[in-house]
Structures are given as structure tokens and as C-alpha cells.
Amino acid sequence: MLNPEYRLLSNTDYQAVKDLFLYHIFPEYGKKNKRGREGAFDRMLLMRRVDFEYSVGAFVNDKIIGFILMGVDSFEGKITACASGTGILTTYRRKGFASQMLQFLVTQFKLKHINQALVTAQPRYQDGNKGSAARIYENIGYTYNRLLVSYKVPSNGLKPPHTSVSNYRIHQTKQPNWSLYNSWQNTSTSWERAKEAILINTPYETFLEVQIYQQTVGFLVGDLRYGKITQINASPDHDRASILSALIYYFHQHSRLKRLRMFKIDTQEIHLIQVLEQLGFVKVNELEELKLSF
């Protein structure tokens, strides 16, 4: 078997990557998506902010047999590359080619002035998960950064809140006050829930604010079509639990899907996690975020 040649992708590789992704590596991807499979693929590239010029392909006889796609954007004030999809043809798996692609990519990041690189994956040392993809990144030099958890409302629905807030008004706004929202944030959101991702999805995002005596004290951003909460927070100077609960209940009332969900929450967001669990949300998975700084 010939060893692959590695090179950065370009926009001219789009069709080859799409065909490999949809028809050879992930044949079930997008089958239920209303956009169709190819539309779902394009939407994935957009939402994950994939840039082919920062992504790598593995080629044998000029035919692509694998890839690592990278999203690139500003995150935490730094130019960041985030792993956004890896695939290798079955014949070429378990031969170290994914690791070699990543090694090649890391050398290119240094030349392209990337400040940091991220990946989220199943926990490396979880029982029955010895083959975690995170191990590949760890071996290249990525280090553990934080644990991200996802929550979802179970089939029996929301529980009533333990506390309530009085004299408040929830309204929809078309002018989100990001500077105010960010001032309440103790930890950075995950890559997928960052402001930059929200702006891409703005036509579908609903922005809610809570006001008490005309002062904004909380906000929620979410997609009412799918019951997906993207960001939510409240002022630390007020009853956070009550404000967060009120926002979630309001969103639930107006959401098309009632089994609300919120993905990739930093476990340091203790107030939010406590509220979610009090309202009956259940944890559906845990992911580790690993980081490589340059």
C-alpha cells in the first residue's frame, strides 16, 4: 500500500471532499435533513466555519482518501483553528494516517499564524473508550482544557422552577447587547456556541431579554425550530436562578419542539447547570476540549 501524500486543501477540492464525506465515509449523513444530503453538508461547512486552506487532505495517486477539516475564526480573542470533521477510507484506517495528517497540519498552523487549535472528543480515559480520537491529538501535543456537558429535556417534560422572579418582563430583541452579555460571562462559551456561530445562524436565532424596572438582567439566544438553547446568562447582581428559569420556561412555551436541549456547556458554568438539573434536564453526554497553543 502506498503511503499518502499530505497537502492543504483548496476550494478546488470541494467536490472531491464532499463525495468522499457523503458517499464513502458518512453514507447516512443528512438523510433526514430537509436541505438534502448535499445541502446538509454545505450547512455543516458554514456553521463549523470550515476553511479548506487550513484543512488537510491525504492523497494516493492524486485521489483523496482522507481529510481533517478545520474551522477558523476569532475565539477568545485569538485566531483559532477548531477540528471540524475527520474521515478516512476504511482501507486506510488504523495505519497512523490520521496522526500523520494532524502532524502535517500543526506545522502549517505555525506558518499560517494560528494562535491556538481546539478539538472536542469523547473523554480519553472513559471506560470502554480506549480508542478515543482525543488520544491522537494528545500525542501531537494538545492538552486537556476543560470538560463540556450537554443537556436535554426528557420525555416527561420540564419540572416547575424552585424559585420565581417578580416584576420582570421578557421580550424579544433584534439588537442584542453583546457587551452587556459578555460582562456576565465567567467562562468562554464553546466554539459551537460562540457569538461568531450565532451570527452565522442569525436568521434562525431568537434573542430574548429579561428586564426588571427597564434594566436588562438576563438573556437567552436560541433556535425555536429545534428547541436549541445556544446561550443563556443573567446578571450576578440579581437572582440568577430565577431569571434563568423564567427565560427557559418562556423559550419552552414558544418552541416548536418541547424537548429543549443545550450542547457543550463548560462544567464551570455551575449556576446554569444547577438550574437545568432543577428543571429536569438530563445530561446526555460529556466531551473533553483539548487545546494546542502556539
Task: Please compute the mean of the pLDDT values over residues 265-287 and round it to a whole number.
Answer: 97
pLDDT confidence of residue 89: 96
Low-confidence winner among 77-86, 89-98, 158-167 (lowest mean pLDDT): 158-167
Task: Please compute the mean of the pLDDT values over residues 81-96 and round it to a whole number.
Answer: 95
pLDDT confidence of residue 187: 92
E strands in 89-213: 116-121, 143-152, 168-172, 206-212
In this model, does residue 209 exceed pLDDT 90?
Answer: yes
pLDDT confidence of residue 129: 59
Q: Which three cell numbers stand for residue 188?
A: 468562554
**Per-residue model confidence as pLDDT tens digits over 12-39:** 999 999 999 999 999 999 999 999 999 9
Residue 12 CB coordination number (10 Å): 8
pLDDT confidence of residue 161: 83
pLDDT band at residue 55, thresholds of 50, 70 and 90? very high
Cα(198)–Cα(64) distance, rounded to whole angstroms?
Answer: 32
**Which domains are assigned to the chain?**
5-114 (3.40.630.30), 152-286 (3.40.630.30)
Residue 98: is it exposed, middle or buried by C-beta count within 10 angstroms (0-12/13-18/19+)?
buried
- State the chain's mean pLDDT as an integer: 95
